[in-house]
Amino acid sequence: MSESEKKIRTVTGRVVSAKGEKSVTVSVERLVPHALYGKITRKTTKVRAHDEQGDASEGDLVVLTPSRPMSKSKSWQVLKVVEKAPV
């Protein structure tokens, strides 16, 4: 498998805090079926991500990828901003 054929693991989420200089907090939502009854429920996880360019702001939709741990709580990296928040 060559480099171009490898799939990069990504998750999409909404930025809930962009108070750090190069850090953002992103709320990632996933749909999970109940183990017994099968009802689909919505689970949210807040992750801290590294934003090198600093172009993500609150309310933006971003794509994240896992990276090496950059601090105690920051082990994700912003790949791109998909949608800017309405002003």
What token pair was written down for 68? 């090496």
Find out whether 87 and 58 touch, Cβ atoms under 8 Å: no
Q: Which two tokens stand for residue 30?
A: 């996933």
The phi and psi torsions of 27 (rounded to 5 degrees) equal: -95, 115
Cα 33–Cα 37–Cα 29 angle in degrees, nearest 5: 20
Residue 5 has pLDDT above 70, yes or no: no
* Per-residue model confidence as pLDDT tens digits over 41-71: 999 999 999 999 999 999 999 999 999 999 9
Q: What's the pTM?
A: 0.86
Domain at 3-83: CATH code:
2.40.50.140
